[in-house]
C-alpha cells in the first residue's frame, strides 16, 4: 500500500513562509582573529594611535591593546600604554582570567587583576597594595568588555554588566541612544549608539557598535568629569 502525502493548501503555505521570514537570523560566528586601529583624540586634537589585536586558539583568547603618543605628545610620553586580557571563550562569551594595565615601563604603575572563577574572587593589585572583591558572574575587564560584544551581541535598549579596571569592580549601565549609519576612515557602518548612565561627578562614555560587523566598537567617546573629552575613531578593521 503506497504512502499518501497530503499537500498543504496554498494559503497555509503562504502563512508558513511569512512566519519563517520573521524569525531572527542566526548570529554570525565570531572571528578567530581581529586587528583594529584607532586614532585617539583629546579635546579634538589627535594625541595618539591605538592598535589592538584579538586572537583565539581553541577555548583560549588573548587581547592586546597598545596606545602610542604621536606628534608633540610623543616628546612627553614615558612609554606606551598597554592593556592585556587573557582568558577563556565559553558559551556565554569571553571569561577573563588575567588582566594587565601597563603605563610605560614603570613597574610601580602596573595594574593587575586575576579572576578566580572557582572561588568567585577577583584579586586586584595596584599602587603596591592588594584588594579582593566578590567575583560576579559575567564580569569583564576593561578591554575584554569591548570584544565581548562579538560573542554576546546587545539586545534591547539597555546594557548592564559588571566590569573591573583593576582598581575596582562596578556595575555599568548603558542605554540605547539611537541607531544610525556612521562614516569612519575604515568605512561606513550601521551602528547602535549606547550612552553610559552616570553621576555628574563621573566620566561619561558613549559607544558606537557596528551592528553589521560583529558589533565591534567603531567609535568610543569619553567625557571626563573635569571637562575634557577622549575619543577613539576607527581607521582600520580586519576579521579572519
Quick: pLDDT tens for 64-73.
999 999 998 8
* Number of structural domains the chain divides into: 1
Residue 108 falls inside a structural domain? yes
Task: Please indicate, yes or no, if residue 58 is contained in any of the structural domains.
Answer: yes
Q: Which residue has the cell 508558513?
A: 16
Specify the DSSP element, H or E, that contains 16: helix 10-21
**pTM for this prediction:** 0.86
| 156 in any annotated domain | yes
pLDDT above 60 for 29: yes
In a domain, 35, yes or no: no
Residue 12 lies in a domain: no
Candidates 234, 237, 190; CA nearest to 40 is 234
Residue at 11 is within a domain:
no
β 140-141/158-164 pair status: parallel
- By residue range, what is the domain housing residue 120? 40-239
Residue 149 lies in a domain: yes
Within 8 A by CB and 6+ apart from 88, the residues are: 59, 60, 61, 94, 95, 97
pLDDT in tens, 168-209: 999 999 999 999 999 999 999 999 999 999 777 677 899 999
Q: Is there a domain that residue 183 lies in?
A: yes
Amino acid at each position: 500500500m503506497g504512502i499518501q502525502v497530503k499537500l498543504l493548501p496554498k494559503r497555509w503555505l503562504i502563512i508558513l513562509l511569512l512566519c519563517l521570514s520573521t524569525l531572527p537570523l542566526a548570529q554570525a560566528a565570531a572571528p578567530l582573529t581581529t586587528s583594529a586601529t584607532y586614532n585617539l583624540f583629546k579635546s579634538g586634537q589627535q594625541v595618539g594611535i591605538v592598535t589592538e589585536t584579538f586572537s583565539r586558539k581553541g577555548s583560549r583568547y588573548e587581547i592586546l591593546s597598545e596606545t602610542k603618543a604621536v606628534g608633540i605628545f610623543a616628546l612627553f610620553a614615558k612609554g606606551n600604554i598597554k592593556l592585556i586580557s587573557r582568558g577563556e571563550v565559553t558559551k556565554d562569551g569571553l571569561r577573563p582570567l588575567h588582566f594587565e594595565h601597563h603605563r610605560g615601563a614603570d613597574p610601580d604603575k602596573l595594574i593587575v587583576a586575576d579572576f578566580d572563577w572557582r572561588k568567585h574572587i577577583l584579586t586586584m593589585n595596584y599602587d603596591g597594595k592588594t584588594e579582593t572583591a566578590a567575583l560576579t558572574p559575567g564580569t569583564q575587564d576593561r578591554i575584554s568588555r569591548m570584544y565581548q560584544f562579538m560573542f554576546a551581541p546587545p539586545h534591547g535598549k539597555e546594557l548592564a554588566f559588571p566590569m573591573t579596571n583593576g582598581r575596582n569592580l562596578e556595575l555599568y549601565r548603558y542605554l540605547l541612544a539611537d541607531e544610525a549609519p556612521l562614516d569612519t576612515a575604515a568605512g561606513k557602518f550601521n551602528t547602535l549608539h549606547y550612552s553610559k548612565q552616570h553621576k555628574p561627578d563621573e566620566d561619561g562614555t558613549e559607544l558606537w557598535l557596528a551592528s553589521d560587523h560583529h558589533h565591534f566598537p567603531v567609535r568610543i567617546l569619553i567625557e571626563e568629569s573635569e571637562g575634557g573629552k577622549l575619543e577613539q575613531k576607527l581607521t582600520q578593521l580586519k576579521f579572519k
